[in-house]
Chains A and B, each alone.
Chain A
């Protein structure tokens, strides 16, 4: 028998839910002390479950968990922050789920990463408070740094030489900006504007609040989004799921009423 306590307490953010069996669900949680872990909540899909609302994805909850043979089991859950404003808004829900997806994909089970839980709470608090969605870019930058993938933004990531700010290449494989001379060695990347170079450097140095206060226009936002998406795709070796969804919901054009009788063609690929 192990001498570890049979139950433990932790606080965490619910990242995702997977239903199993008749009324159970397995939740993925990122917690301050345990890092990422999965545990099962028995009967949580029944109307009278006491834990139901406290284990919704994107909820910050205090948890009491019993160690199980294969999977741990939630025994108590209590909401700390329900993030109501996030869940009442399509884009904010998608943005917050994207942050949750990144935490899920970039972390290993039970490997707590210093500062990551606080960073996740910071971005959720910011989205809850109605700060602009480009907070997510700040989250991406700092997530990469915490996980040891900090982008080299000051000198060339390959030769260490000086970076000329006009049309700098951001190379995912080199791990940052590269100088003109190293471009051919950088194995791909994206040219970013002087503005993007400056705000990326600012994101690393600034607090989330001051970053959120920046006025970032649509073009710059798109540029930052694509540049960081390249890096994330390279590191994960796959496309995260949420950006496409976020794009889809924010692009959603309300329907223009058609004259009566005219039937829109079905769009089911």
Chain B
């Protein structure tokens, strides 16, 4: 229950408690935020409350790619100009934003909403992998690009999906793994350097 000091009015204690539940917000920050809201103009506080309400009411998951969206299907899935023969599989909706920023990918997406993490008990059934399968059945998708992070968990997820899809005849690729720009060879780990060497290209 509310951890407020005795005598704190109930609505404030409730607000402090709500802020305290947010990631990275400790008890002191929660108090500061709550008292900030208390002192803020009415419009500011109402706008915040409405924004929170809207996000929960109006945002849902795209029924095709599971990206977060206001309208189903999402703008990417609905856009006829996008290349429907490619699906890029990402861990989180935020990864789509990163890929879109590059402007280099014009295909469709699929969001897994997580990554295999057996050490924390997250297995294949906890990810949105099954939803990818119906999208591949009509044969229009020619390539699935695995864009999971190059971490142990991301690699395991990519390998798992690759194995699952291999008999479908669809081409499964993964993002190149190597040196990030601005990197320092001296500090680069062996796995990255090995893969950078393997993936070297002609000038």
A binding-site residues for B, Cβ under 8 Å: 16, 21-22, 47-48, 50-54, 56-59, 79, 82, 84, 87-90, 93-94, 97, 100-101, 241-242, 244-245, 248-249, 252, 254-258, 260-264, 266-269
Contact = CB atoms under 8 A, between A and B. Distances in A.
Given A79-B190, A90-B160, A254 B151 contact: no
Contacts of A242: 118-119
B27 to A, nearest CB: 17
B137 A84 contact: no
B163 A84 contact: no
Interface of B: 24, 116, 118-121, 123-125, 130-131, 133-134, 137-139, 151-152, 155-156, 159-160, 163-169, 180, 182-184, 187-192, 194
A262 B138 CA distance: 9
B175 to A, nearest CB: 13
Contact of B160 (A79, A252, A260): A252
B130 A264 contact: yes
Given A254-B166, A264-B130, A269-B125, A50 B187 contact: yes
B194 A241 contact: no
Contacts of B194: 82, 84
A267 B152 contact: no
A258 B169 CA distance: 12
28 contacts: A16-B119, A22-B24, A48-B180, A48-B183, A53-B188, A53-B189, A56-B151, A56-B189, A56-B191, A59-B189, A82-B189, A82-B194, A87-B152, A87-B156, A88-B155, A90-B159, A90-B160, A97-B119, A101-B119, A249-B160, A252-B124, A252-B164, A255-B167, A257-B167, A261-B138, A264-B133, A268-B130, A269-B125
